[in-house]
Chains A and B, each alone.
Chain A
C-alpha cells in the first residue's frame, strides 16, 4: 500500500516565477492538506481540500492556491515566488469524518524542498 507521495523531491526557482507541486494521497483517502515548513520551524497549515474544494485555509496570501482532482490527488500552486517561500512543502492525506469518526489522522508525505533564488 503506497503512502502519500509528492513530486518533485527538490525544486529550484527564481523570484517572480510560479511553481506547481503535486501530491498523491494514501490509498482510500479523500482529503488533502498542505503545509509549509521553513528551515528550523514547525509546519504551518496552508489549506485543506475535500471533494475538490478548499475547505479550510490558514494564514497564507492568495499567491498560494490549490486544486484537488477527482482521483483525490492535489496540486499546490505558488505565484510570484519570494525568497521567503523557500521551504519544505508537506502534503498530508486523511479520510473524511463521514461515518462518525472522531478524528481523521493525517498521513504525511516526504515533502518537496523548494529553493527560491
Chain B
C-alpha cells in the first residue's frame, strides 16, 4: 500500500520570498508522483508530475519539484511567491510501471500556503 506524508499543514511566507512544501511517500513499488493545487471552492488542478526520466520536474505557475528516490521525497518549490499562490497544495502518488498509470491517486493531507504581503 502507498502513503503520502505532507509534513507541514500550514506554511506562511512573505510575498516574493522562496517557498518549499515538503512531501514524503511510502511505496513498495515504483511510483508516479504529482502535485495538485486547490483554490477555495474549486476542484484540483495539476501543477506538475513525475513519471520517469529527469528528477527535476517543472510545472505551471513557476513551480518545480525534485524526485529523490533515496529519500522517498518529492518536495515542491517556487523561487518567488505571489499573493495569488495562496491555496491548498496536495502531493499525490500512484503506482508506476506498465498499466499503473490508470490507478486511483493516494493523496497527502495537504499544505495550506499562506502568502503574507
Interface residues of A, Cβ cutoff 8 Å to B: 4, 31, 33, 35, 40-45, 47-48, 50, 55-56, 58, 90, 92, 94, 96-97, 101-111
Contacts and interface: CB of A to CB of B under 8 A. Distances in A.
B49 A103 contact: yes
B67 interface: no
B104 A90 contact: no
Interface of B: 4, 6, 32, 36, 41-46, 49, 51-52, 90, 92, 94, 99, 101-110
In the A-B complex, list the 3 residue pairs whose CB atoms are closest, starting with the nearest.
Answer: A103-B101, A42-B107, A45-B104
A42 B110 contact: yes
A42 B104 contact: no
B24 to A, nearest CB: 14
A111 B108 contact: no
A117 to B, nearest CB: 21
Contacts, number: 69
Contacts of B44: 43, 90, 92, 108
A104 B101 contact: yes
Q: Which of A96, A97, A102 has the most CB of B within 10 A?
A: A102
A106 B101 CA distance: 10
Contacts of A94: 102
A94 B49 CA distance: 15
A96 B43 contact: no
Given A96-B102, A97-B99, A103-B51, 7 more contacts: A33-B104, A42-B110, A43-B90, A101-B101, A104-B102, A106-B46, A110-B42
B112 to A, nearest CB: 9
A43 B49 contact: no
